[in-house]
Amino acid sequence: MPFKLAMKAPRPLSDEALALIARRFAVLAEPTRLRLLHALFAGEKSVNELVELTGGTQANVSRHLQTLAHAHMLGRRKEGLQVFYAIADPSIFKLCELVCGSLEKSLNKQAEVFAQ
């Protein structure tokens, strides 16, 4: 029973589907979580490493990591006392690339207004 949905399908999307998609974007709509993802672009890291790299508190970092893991964006493995997280969803890379691109355009559009 594979689950199939597409935003550009002509059929209407259910409220449930929209909520799920929105939730997906919401997970990424948070600077701290983006900071964590960015740190993990370089490869798997422990919670402690991420705490140091992002400058956040251990509790806060842990909470955000949980959110990302529950969304299956991160994979998690434990080794003794340490827990390691890594990017588990490759589409994250493409997503961020797209958003940065359209953000650049948006900013350039704003810059044009000032240039006039």
106-110 long-range contacts, CB within 8 A, separation 24+: none
- Candidates 7, 59, 81, 113; binder of a second copy (CB under 8 A) is 7
- Candidates 2, 10, 12, 80; binder of DNA (CB under 7 A) is 80
**Between 23 and 63, CB nearer to a second copy:** 23
Q: From the list a second copy, DNA, none, pick the one residue 56 interacts with, judged by a Cβ distance below 5 to 8 Å according to partner type.
A: DNA
Taking CB under 7 A as the rule, does residue 21 contact DNA?
A: no
Residue from 28, 88, 31, 29 nearest 60 by CA: 31
Taking CB under 7 A as the rule, does residue 75 contact DNA?
A: no
How many residues contact DNA, by CB under 7 A?
Answer: 26
Identify the residue whose tokens are 């960015």.
38
Q: What is the nearest approach in angstroms of DNA to the Cβ of residue 95?
A: 17
Give the whole-angstrom CA distance, residue 79 versus residue 98. 35
The enclosing H or E element of 58 equals helix 58-70
How many CB atoms neighbour CB 73 within 10 A? Answer: 22
Query: Interface residues with DNA (CB under 7 A)?
Result: 26, 29-32, 46-48, 51, 56-60, 62-67, 76, 78, 80-83
